[in-house]
Amino acid sequence: MDPLTALLQQWWLELQSTTFFKPIIFFPLLIFFSVYLYKLIITGPKLNLPPSPPKLPIIGNIHQLSTQLHRSFQDLSEKYGPLILLHLGRSPILIVSSADIAKEILKSHDSVFLNRPRVRAADVLLYGCTDVAFCPYGEYWRQTKRIHVLELLSLKRVQGFQFVRQEEVAEMVEKIRYRCEDGGEVDLSEMLTTISNSIASRCALGRKYEGEDGDESFGALSKKALELTGAFNFRDSLPFLKFMDGLTGFDAKLKKTAKAFHDLLDQVIDEHQKSNNYDQQQSDNKKDFVDILLHLQKGGELGINLTRENLVAILLDTFIGGADTTAATMEWAMSELVKNPRVMKKAQEEVRGVVGNKTNVDESDIDEMEYLKCVVKETLRLHAPVMVPRESTSSVYSKLEGYDIPPKTKVLINAWAIQRDPKLWENPEEFVPERFIDNPVDFKGHHNQFIPFGAGRRGCPGMSFAVIETEYVLANLLYWFDWKLPNGATVEDFDMSDVFGLVIHKKIPLRLVPVLH
């Protein structure tokens, strides 16, 4: 008999001879130690978690949040610290409002935080998150990201779509010029959304899909998809109440929108396959995203096998992740210029001085418009369009600022709050493009205090596409027109309130009176 077995037998005999073995005492002790061992094994050791506001049963901290989540998160962080743990229902969410901690997550510990939270709407719309934005980190994600960086959204490809931007902007300018004749106002918010969707649609699909025979346009479907992706639903936050999504109509809306999107993209792919243009030796600049993806699929050059569903999911990223954020940025830029006449005048003088008496604005002119570029940077600083989402991997506990971060914890980096931090920015609530003159800080992910496009391996691959479009559209709006507020309103009355969603938009649409220059 080995020594350990002998020792256990001796301990057992001694235990039986003591009063502790009597049932009235022994069984409660047995239950206590069983529960202790269960909690130790299942929940692990006691963790040093980040500070958390007091929460209520079931709903967690939901009652402490307003509809403007970015502002609520900022207020809670000012009270409890730059790293706080909230519970939205049963979902633990880490809120980060510090540039230094954001850098740790996006760069120093990026291998732990490479996933993005998987939400119900994205799962349905994007065929199980087989796109690039929501896809779990792994070989499939690496290959799809490579397709975006090298094929779909490379700088050469983006520059090749210059003719699309020129044609769409010329059409928009003509519509505004027409309104100048009767002195009427224009809904610039709607116009900017339309042009952003049109450019994205033509670059991705080859033409605009404006809705035929009662079908919804791509822009309308894209807006619904965005709203659903950012909307509250019970399955994500309170899974045991998921049946409520059927009662609220969320499930029906999601299924209807997904079917309409999938049917339309199936139609687009079928049209491209029948035309066989993707297999022709046509100019690379004339190929849209569908052509490129079909060519890659047929050539077998990828390390993965792209199915029809994968193609649809990748194409949907163009609209869900790109078109609306670009429109929002242009809307905020024009709003800030109207709110700040000094900046408007300075930007217009630069644009008109560079373009001179030419009949149109060339994209090459933008390189000389340093102040306009500062206006775009300041807009992205003051009005970060989105938060930066991450999720800790399921296999590790990580240390962050001395705190334990459990696996499967959702992370929201509040770029909106970081970019308004008075410790990092002088007069952070003021719109001052001059702060970026001769300033090396940029939005490309190298400076942790300025991350409107995220940073690290999961930074936004569409950054160049969005910035070039934004600069070109703004240059034309400033070159061709002067802008006035309608109905004799003054800049003091101008409402700059925002509304939170997957993209942070201006609450009241931007309506202005154009005056032809």
16-42 pLDDT tens trace? 444 444 454 444 444 544 544 444 445
Domain count, the chain: 2
Is residue 35 domain-shared with residue 74, that is, in the same domain? no
Is residue 8 domain-shared with residue 122, that is, in the same domain? no
CA atoms of 270 and 290, how far apart (whole Å) = 10
Is residue 17 domain-shared with residue 76, that is, in the same domain? no
Contacts of 142 (CB under 8 A, 6+ apart): none
Is residue 8 domain-shared with residue 133, that is, in the same domain? no
Confirm whether 52 is domain-assigned.
Answer: no
Confirm whether 57 is domain-assigned.
Answer: no
Is residue 24 domain-shared with residue 88, that is, in the same domain? no
Is residue 410 domain-shared with residue 270, that is, in the same domain? yes
Is residue 237 domain-shared with residue 146, that is, in the same domain? yes
Q: In the structure, what pLDDT confidence band is assigned to residue 4 with cuts at 50, 70 and 90?
A: very low
Is residue 32 domain-shared with residue 71, that is, in the same domain? no
**Taking the alpha carbons of 471, 472, 473, 474 in that order, is the dihedral positive or negative?**
positive
pLDDT digits (tens, 9 = 90+) for 117-144: 989 999 999 999 999 999 999 999 999 9
pLDDT of residue 91: 83
Q: In the structure, what pLDDT confidence band is assigned to residue 363 with cuts at 50, 70 and 90?
A: very high
CA atoms of 354 and 369, how far apart (whole Å) = 7
Confirm whether 364 is domain-assigned.
Answer: yes
Which position has the higher pLDDT, 75 or 285?
75
pLDDT digits (tens, 9 = 90+) for 297-344: 886 666 678 899 999 999 998 887 778 899 999 999 999 999 999 999
pLDDT(14) > 50: no
CATH code at position 185:
1.10.630.10
Provide the domain limits for residue 21.
3-42
pLDDT of residue 98: 95
CA atoms of 494 and 36, how far apart (whole Å) = 61
pLDDT of residue 319: 80
pLDDT of residue 24: 47
The total of other beta-carbon atoms located within 10 Å of residue 102's CB is 25
Confirm whether 87 is domain-assigned.
Answer: yes
Confirm whether 240 is domain-assigned.
Answer: yes
DSSP string, 411-442: EEE-HHHHTT-TTTSSSTTS--GGGGTT----
Q: Cα angle vertex 394, ends 33, 386, to 5°?
A: 130
Is residue 84 domain-shared with residue 123, that is, in the same domain? yes
- Can you list the alpha helix ranges (DSSP code H) found in 231-340? 234-237, 244-248, 250-275, 289-299, 308-317, 324-339
Q: Cα angle vertex 302, ends 140, 289, to 5°?
A: 90
Residue 460, annotated ligand binder? yes
Bridge partners of residue 388, in order along the sequence: 413
Q: In the structure, what pLDDT confidence band is assigned to residue 268 with cuts at 50, 70 and 90?
A: very high
Give the predicted TM-score (pTM) of the model: 0.88
Is residue 334 domain-shared with residue 478, that is, in the same domain? yes
pLDDT digits (tens, 9 = 90+) for 94-110: 999 999 999 999 988 88
Contacts of 249 (CB under 8 A, 6+ apart): none
Is residue 33 domain-shared with residue 67, that is, in the same domain? no
Confirm whether 50 is domain-assigned.
Answer: no
pLDDT digits (tens, 9 = 90+) for 375-405: 999 999 999 988 899 999 877 777 888 899 9
pLDDT digits (tens, 9 = 90+) for 228-238: 888 888 888 88
pLDDT of residue 214: 54
Pairing of strands 403-405, 398-400: antiparallel
Is residue 28 domain-shared with residue 162, that is, in the same domain? no
Confirm whether 18 is domain-assigned.
Answer: yes
Mean pLDDT (the chain) is: 86
* Dihedral class, residue 242 (left if φ above 0, else alpha if ψ from -120 to 50, else beta): alpha
Q: What is the mean pLDDT of residues 183-199?
A: 93
Confirm whether 362 is domain-assigned.
Answer: yes
CA atoms of 360 and 370, how far apart (whole Å) = 19
